[in-house]
A and B are shown apart, each in its own frame.
Chain A
Amino acid sequence: MTDYESHEFDVIIIGAGGAGLRAAVEAQAMGLRTAVVCKSLLGKAHTVMAEGGIAAAMGNVYAEDNWKVHFRDTMRGGKLLNNWRMAQLHAQEAPDRVRELEGWGALFDRTPEGLILQRDFGGHRYARLAHVGDRTGLELIRTMQQKAVADGMEVFMELKVLRLLHDVDGTVSGLVGYWRPSGGFVVLKAKSVVLATGGVGKSWMYTSNSWESTGDGHAMALWAGADLIDMECIQFHPTGMVWPLSVRGILVTEGVRGDGGVLRNSEGTRFMFDYVPDMFRAETADSEDEADKWYDDHTAGRRPPELLPRDEVARSINSEVKAGRGSPHGGVFLDIATRRTAEDIRRRLPSMYHQFKELAGVDITAEAMEVGPTCHYIMGGVRVEADTTAATVPGLFAAGEVAGGMHGANRLGGNSLSDLLVFGRRAGIGAAEFAQGRVGDISLDEGQIQATIDAAVAPFEREGGENPYDIQHALQEAMQSLVGIIRTGAELEQALGKLEELEERAGNISLSGGTKYNPGWNLTTDLPAMLTISRCTTMGALNRKESRGGQTRDDFPTADPEMGKVNFVERIADPSNAPTGVCGTPSVRSITSQPEPVPVMPDELRALLEEAN
């Protein structure tokens, strides 16, 4: 019997990024006892890394903009795999969510009329991104953090959640985890739980994601019996840094292209003109001259091809490099130096300026950046009910990157921060209403709690076993090389075998140094989720025999209309009887992946997609 401390709340939110904090603010405002749990210190969540802006059809720069156009752009960007109702709610509610941030202290850049300034981004017809230079995520998280503190929120910082707990009838009723600073175990009991745990990118070698993005929420939902969808749809952001290697993958904001930056190959050609897909041909410029006019006046020409959705740009860069027209370090050139004045660049892109200056020794006002695709975002996630964000097991809700459906097969830039706010708020309401309606005492399974704790500390009892960092590196290499931006059936099969082998090795980790702030142990307890979600992504990718958005199959290079009608759903049919994998979690071998129909869009919304191409 290991001792643990316990606390009880009405609503517990796991994750303190934009979605988690927005959910918490809403649940607390409804009068519920609310707590937020996060793996890092408050204010350090991955939202802080978002750069370009928050997409919302406020119409401050182009009065023609409205939610219908935003909805259309989002669905087309997602290659129509999106949950249409989520895309609709998102487009309709984003403007109010942005405006309310101002009352909480956010200070966006302004138009000459004093309203919130909006910038251009890929896939958005109009300048739509509310922003603060290129540090919009910091503004969002600091605003939400300060609002949460002002509201007297309970925040459990540096607490790693191991798994969700459920009541006798299967309703999610809390969690078990540990304090990273002391290693002490904690059980939190709750009437409902919101997952707001972000993404999964740390399972790839070159990623813009931090150590926290290990898919904890995705995996815990699956282990609790919930459905995941679209896990094969991974966004490789077209522009990550490529040199020096130590910074490979760090994000270069799409704002560089929104503000006039262009992509060139080693021959100096703006190659994106050669990669315009049919779906976007009518709205994309066919000459440099036409594209350049568009920046100042969107009615004077059509959009530059550099501002196609991210999946298109990332694949094009990949093709240029493969064709031998890449930059010296395996990327392409992103040039803003010859396009805008040095003063303009420093004012609009200050953190890009510093990032390149300090980490790569490159002055972006004088020379081109070298950039290439980096694993950035997972479109797939917990299958939720659009209006309430309820997952498919009772008592569980999900918002932000951990939720699936909103972005379909490919997310547009700027739609993530707005997603956090719109569905964070809805998750807060959904979870609060569920908690209000829940009757009866909650009883937790003591055996499950002890088994989880025992499995977590088991590596300290073992000697001569594996080093967790070796397993993490092997996983990252396997996912990068076998389940990367371009995939084939044979390599995906190979990846499945590799994952089973890694699961076995991860079950044989040995550790020393105690549980107090021990990164080796922390990583060991992140590995089960990393292996689980990597398996889901690989299975989905194997099943989706087509290329669509964040899933590109070299052996099935085009989109298949029939495949566009289904989501692949990963689940563990009976988690309590599944074979045991790492740290007492269900084995990756027990995951299944099946096609199920995409929700059918009403005709009046479908009509919007065809309008004004």
Chain B
Amino acid sequence: MAEEIVRSNQSGEVTMRIWRGDEDGGEFAEYVMPGLEGEVVLDVIHRVQASEAPDLACRWNCKAGKCGSCSAEINGRPALMCMTRMDTLPPGETVTVAPMRAFPIIRDLVTDVSYNYEVAKRIPPLSPRDKTNDEVKAGGYRMAQIDVERSQEFRKCIECFLCQDVCHVVRDHEENKTAYAGPRFFIRSAELEMHPLDTNDRRQLLQEEQGLGKCNITKCCTEVCPEHIKITDNAIIPLKERVVDAKYDPVAWLGRKINKRTKRTAQEAAAEAPSEGPAAVLPPGGVHGIPQTHTDGSGTPEFAMAPPAPDDSPPEPVGDDAPA
């Protein structure tokens, strides 16, 4: 039976200031739209697309805060567009929407986030211990709920990369990207370090190749995390402690001498990564997000870290609540 289509009530107008452009430069464009009850920023962007600007580029998928695609900087604050309700922004004021600043622009609100996918490849995967006889009989590993919960917190990550965007180490220092994994991948390493089944020791790798020491724990990442993961307190600080212990702690050193080590060293762990050589731990295949890295037609893609940010990258957005 024909279903009735319900429509929203209008409540005033909203003015959107949206960054339009590409790697060659761009500027903010203003769009005035009817305001509709209960909407999030992404709804308004979609209505701009459907009416005035069908070519306005933005990424999105689930529109429910579960996929982490629609990251942007709203009034200067890194956030998911699908989880930012219009009625939480200052009423009557223009809403500024800019792309994430830490990544090179592709077009409008879409940035080249391939840096993150490159870092992901350099993390040695889980190397699980063998099953015990009892576990073989029971048909699966035994782990206590309390032991899985620590890593479960980090596995809530939806890879929106807002923490990477806000992190000072790379936000204004493109050059750091070659030797810095960033908050998202520190929690990935923390997840594996604390994983009840993992046998790798990742501490040396974290210190020497992933730049853990560069993080100066300003907690900006924790502040913008839409999953409310305590990135700094529960992942980065414990990792820093473990790395320091590994290097300087005489008791830990003695402990390692006396007890049989169960975790493997960085070199052994790195060997677990799908690597060609010992230093660069890149897999033979790859994640081709950006066609430019894959246009030679040879089938053997080359990987470049993200190119330097364009000179005309969007200006520092206004707004006094930008995390500092």
Contacts and interface: CB of A to CB of B under 8 A. Distances in A.
Interface of A: 5-8, 40-46, 48-49, 58, 95, 99, 102-105, 107-110, 113-117, 132-133, 135, 137-139, 142, 146-147, 149-158, 179, 181-182, 184, 186, 205, 210-212, 243-248, 250-251, 322, 330, 351, 354-355, 358-360, 467-470, 473, 477, 480-482, 484-488, 491, 511-514, 516-521, 523, 554
A477 B3 CA distance: 9
Contacts of B108: 517
Interface string B1-42: 111111110000000000000100000000000001111100
A359 B85 contact: yes
Given A48-B62, A107-B148, A519-B56, A184 B110 contact: no
Interface string B267-291: 0000001100000000111111111
A480 B3 contact: yes
B120 A149 contact: yes
Contacts of B139: 58, 95, 99
Given A99-B139, A481-B3, 11 more contacts: A44-B61, A49-B66, A95-B139, A110-B144, A132-B152, A210-B62, A246-B38, A469-B49, A480-B5, A484-B3, A491-B1
B38 A247 contact: yes
Contact of B299 (A8, A245, A355, A517): A8
8 contacts: A149-B120, A211-B61, A246-B38, A246-B39, A248-B6, A469-B51, A513-B55, A519-B56
Nearest to B124: A150
A509 B252 CA distance: 69
A75 B227 CA distance: 38
A502 B61 CA distance: 25
B62 A150 contact: no
A606 B110 CA distance: 53
Task: Count chain B CB atoms within 10 A of each CB in A102, A468, A523 and give the residue with the most.
Answer: A102
A152 B274 contact: yes
B209 interface: no
Contact of B125 (A40, A105, A132): A105
A40 B61 contact: yes
Contacts of B157: 142
A481 B113 contact: no
A520 B145 CA distance: 47
A109 B83 contact: no
Nearest to A515: B55
B63 interface: yes
A485 B3 contact: yes
Contact of B69 (A44, A116, A153, A491): A44
Contacts of B61: 40, 44-46, 48, 210-212
Contact of A109 (B56, B113, B148, B195): B148
Interface residues of B, number: 84
Nearest to B109: A517
A7 B297 CA distance: 6
A186 to B, nearest CB: 8
Contact of A245 (B7, B54, B297): B7
A210 B126 CA distance: 31
B142 interface: yes
A582 B168 CA distance: 48
A152 B107 CA distance: 29
Contacts of B195: 105, 107
Given A40-B61, A184-B291, A473 B50 contact: yes
B285 A44 contact: no
Interface in B285-307: 285-292, 294-295, 297, 299, 301
Nearest to A146: B125
A512 B144 CA distance: 57
B64 A250 contact: yes
B4 A110 contact: no
B156 interface: yes
A181 B110 contact: yes
A511 B54 contact: yes
Nearest to A523: B54
A514 B55 CA distance: 8
A103 B141 CA distance: 9
Interface of B: 1-8, 22, 36-40, 43, 49-51, 54-69, 83, 85, 106-108, 110, 112-113, 117, 120-121, 125-126, 128, 138-145, 148, 151-152, 155-159, 192, 195, 197, 273-274, 283-292, 294-295, 297, 299, 301
B245 to A, nearest CB: 24
Contacts of B299: 7-8
Contacts of A473: 50
A549 B112 CA distance: 44
Nearest to B45: A519
B39 A205 contact: no
A81 B234 CA distance: 50
Contact of B37 (A146, A244, A487, A511): A244
Contacts of A245: 6-8, 36-38
Given A5-B295, A49-B66, A155-B288, A512 B55 contact: yes
A158 B289 contact: yes
Contact of B287 (A8, A117, A157, A518): A157
Contacts of B37: 244-245
A135 B125 CA distance: 22
B152 A246 contact: no
B196 to A, nearest CB: 8
Contacts of A250: 63-64
B140 A115 contact: yes
A482 B55 contact: no
A74 B47 CA distance: 41
Q: Which 6 A-B pairs have the closest CB atoms?
A: A244-B38, A513-B55, A520-B54, A114-B142, A152-B283, A150-B125
Nearest to B144: A114
A358 B65 contact: yes
Contacts of B66: 48-49, 135, 137-138, 351
Nearest to A35: B285
Contact of B1 (A104, A110, A139, A488): A488
Contact of A102 (B58, B155, B197, B291): B197
B69 A40 contact: yes
Contacts of B295: 5, 184
Task: Count chain A CB atoms within 10 A of each CB in B56, B64, B125, B284 and give the residue with the most.
Answer: B64
B64 A355 contact: yes
A149 B49 contact: no
Given A114-B142, A147-B125, A519-B49, A48 B67 contact: yes
A458 to B, nearest CB: 16
A513 B20 CA distance: 12
A157 B120 CA distance: 15
Nearest to A141: B67
Contact of A519 (B57, B156, B287, B297): B57
A531 to B, nearest CB: 18
Contacts of B273: 150
B274 A477 contact: no
B65 A517 contact: no
Contacts of A179: 291
Contacts of B148: 107-110
A351 B62 CA distance: 13
Contacts of B142: 113-115
